[in-house]
Amino acid sequence: MRMATGLGGRDIRLYNKNRVLKYIYRSGGTTKQHLVEALGMSLPTVLQNIKELLAEELICELGQMESTGGRKAMVIAPVAGVRLSVGADVRKSHVQLTMIDLTGAVIHSRQMSMPYRNIPAYYAWLGETIHDFLREADADEAKVLGVGFSIPGIIEGDMITDSHALGIRAVPTRAFCEHVRLSASFINDANAAALAEIHAEDSLDTFAYLSLNDCVGGSIVLKRRMYMGDNCRAGEFGHMRLMPMGRACYCGMEGCVDAFCAAPVLAEHASGNLDAFFSMLGQGDAECAILWNNYLDALAISVNNLRMAFDCPIVLGGEAGGYLTDFLDAIRLRAGRINTFGRDGSYLHTCKCRRHASALGAALTHVDRFFMVDRTM
């Protein structure tokens, strides 16, 4: 989290209060002394913030820790369900809804099949579906911070300027939330998945996230913040040229990473079902094996290019990325073979958030806002 310069007294108090609250929720429970040591605050400042947060019922006292000699320390812990957030990952054929609490834990999740159409009836259905989802989860709307919408496309300000996956251009974001009685935020699906990975992954502060969904996208994470670029298009790894004069890409160019590494490259061999493809692969299907071998070659070149550009860990995510853990050693080996500076592919990782990462990340936008955390740069 960044702290702006020139904060007034009230802003500094709010900043410190949110630091205390965030630490308690991220740790799952701590003590006053641990807060003093971890946050570098004075004991009176910590005590005052705890007093206020207890009064607001955002934290609670669970009891005392086992004594190691001397007075037992009181455990300060999060309050389950005190605030909630919803993520809505809008896809071509369905919408994934995920509800989380302030710890990022998933409270309720559901997927609804509905082809996307840029018409009023679809947006009315979307709003009704979200509120039905809240009622189904028995969620008090007063506790819901908002709905985060994950969109597979480029979002600039309050406009979705282009989404090949949804087949739209220049659609105002308000169309998606006009029937939702809650605060709304919008984020690109790959950035949303990367945000979920930031929250799930404690060992990597900086990494490039390669999203292998229906379209290939990505995100650049620097010190736990996402680099957005001049036009909010940073991380469009799917349109790096992998092979000049290669396969046609939907963007009109040829040889893009997307044409070789998008999830449908594999799924289309199994009637559009990615799970079925990997099942067939595991059963020794010869055609699947050939396709998989070619896919791995293209993926290895792609991740090696990212490694050369950023010299940081690469995380494989998205729908296809969730299947790659069992193949990680093979992918590392292929990538290492073409690495100019060595044969070590250990920089390559698979995502920790393997299911519904974009919906989770979209919900986390409101949690970060609640904790006053800015994840963009």
pLDDT score of 119: 98
- The mean pLDDT of the chain is 93
Q: Is 115 exposed, middle or buried (0-12, 13-18, 19+ CB in 10 A)?
A: exposed
Q: Is the pLDDT of residue 224 over 80?
A: yes
pLDDT digits (tens, 9 = 90+) for 67-81: 555 567 889 999 989
| Helices and strands of the chain, counted as H and E runs | 13, 15
**pLDDT-based confidence at 245, cuts 50/70/90?**
confident
pLDDT digits (tens, 9 = 90+) for 8-58: 566 788 989 999 999 999 999 999 999 999 999 999 999 999 999 999 999
Q: Give yes or no for a contact between 129 and 97, defined as CB atoms under 8 angstroms apart.
A: yes
Q: Provide the β-strand partners of residue 163.
A: 168
Instruction: Give me the percent of the chain exceeding a pLDDT of 90.
Output: 86
Q: Is the pLDDT of residue 60 over 60?
A: yes
Of 313, 267, 269, nearest to 287 by C-alpha is 269
Of 228, 253, 256, 230, nearest to 241 by C-alpha is 256
pLDDT score of 331: 96
Q: Is 1 exposed, middle or buried (0-12, 13-18, 19+ CB in 10 A)?
A: middle
**pLDDT-based confidence at 62, cuts 50/70/90?**
confident
Q: Is the pLDDT of residue 260 over 90?
A: yes
Listed in sequence order, the residues at least 6 apart from 27 whose beta carbon sits closer than 8 Å to its beta carbon are: 34
pLDDT score of 8: 58
pLDDT score of 82: 94
**pLDDT-based confidence at 65, cuts 50/70/90?**
low
Q: pTM higher than 0.75, yes or no? A: yes
pLDDT digits (tens, 9 = 90+) for 148-184: 999 999 999 999 999 999 999 999 999 999 999 999 9
